[in-house]
Amino acid sequence: MRNIVKQTFMCLSLVMAAVACDDASQPASQGSAVTQPDAGYDGGASGTSGKGGAKAANGGSGASAGSAGKAATAPLTDPQIVDVLIAVNAGEVEQNTFAVTRAQAPEVRSTAQNFAAAHTEVLAEVEEVASQQSIAPEESPISKKLKKASKHTLGKLESADAAEFDTVFVQSQIKVHDQVLDIIDEQLLPAVRNPELRTLTQKNREAVAGHLEQLRSLAESQGYDVDAGVPEDAGI
């Protein structure tokens, strides 16, 4: 009987001890569950590897894209600028000389004559400066596109009938002069190095801008719609 009581007492003691141990461990588990950090949290380093890291990564990729962009749009060299100026003025001489023979309105014919003479003069100046400064023309994607566009515009003029010729001519001239002005402002003047060539490029810009104003005034006085009927490939 004593042995049974003793064994029972020992069993109760073991059970109470187990319960006490279990109670003691509960707060620790709950506490750790409450303070358990998110899987993505790195103890404060997330400020660098999280948003900061993403910003750094974006900055790196942006730099790479910027480098690629610069490589794809490398500044023109002086020889390439000379070739662009030759292409612009030679194309204008050809188009306006042809327009003199086909223009119907006296005002349009007179404008074509003046433009042909002006661009002939500038073309001669470009060739003279290039010769004096030993700058041999060098073809570039821009000058190639200008030459192709000039031939296309001339073809449009050649295929236009008498009734529509003046309108087609003025419309195409406005488009071409507007685009050439953008090329000079955005690609020629920022890149030109030779002082004499810079002066000539600026002079060419002034001539193109002046012609554009004359063309717009002519279109207004003749009642031409400067946008209607001009195909997307009429210019550069």
Distance of CA 86 to the CA centre of its chain: 24
Mean pLDDT of 138-166: 96
Token match 């506490």: residue? 31
Whether the pLDDT of residue 147 is over 50: the answer is yes
The answer to whether residue 77 scores a pLDDT higher than 90 is yes
Judge whether residue 139 has pLDDT over 70. yes
Give the span between the Cα atoms of 206 and 92, in whole angstroms.
15
pLDDT digits (tens, 9 = 90+) for 1-34: 444 444 444 544 444 444 444 444 444 444 443 3
- Res. 64 pLDDT band, cuts 50 70 90: very low
Question: Torsion angle of alpha carbons 87, 90, 220, 210, nearest 10°?
Answer: 80
């890291």: which residue's tokens?
53
CA–CA gap between residue 110 and residue 116 (Å, rounded): 10
Contact 173, 236 (CB under 8 A): no
Report the alpha-carbon distance of residue 130 to residue 19 in Å, rounded: 101
Query: Which residue type occupies 110?
Result: S
- Per-residue pLDDT, 227: 64
Segments making up each domain of the chain, as ranges: 74-229
pLDDT tens digits for range 182-215: 999 999 999 999 999 999 999 999 999 999 999 9
Q: Residues 6 or more apart from 127 whose CB is under 8 A from it?
A: 86
Give me the pLDDT at residue 80, please: 98
Pick 7 or 59 by higher pLDDT.
Answer: 7
Cβ neighbours of residue 218 closer than 8 Å, sequence gap 6 or more: 107, 108, 111, 170, 224
What is the reported pLDDT for 236?
Answer: 53
pLDDT band at 231, cuts 50/70/90?
Answer: very low
| Res 72: pLDDT | 53
| Global pTM exceeds 0.85 | no
Q: Is the pLDDT of residue 119 over 60?
A: yes
- The superfamily in CATH containing domain 74-229 is Ferritin, core subunit, four-helix bundle (1.20.1260.10)
Which of 12-26, 73-87, 214-228 is the most confident on average? 73-87
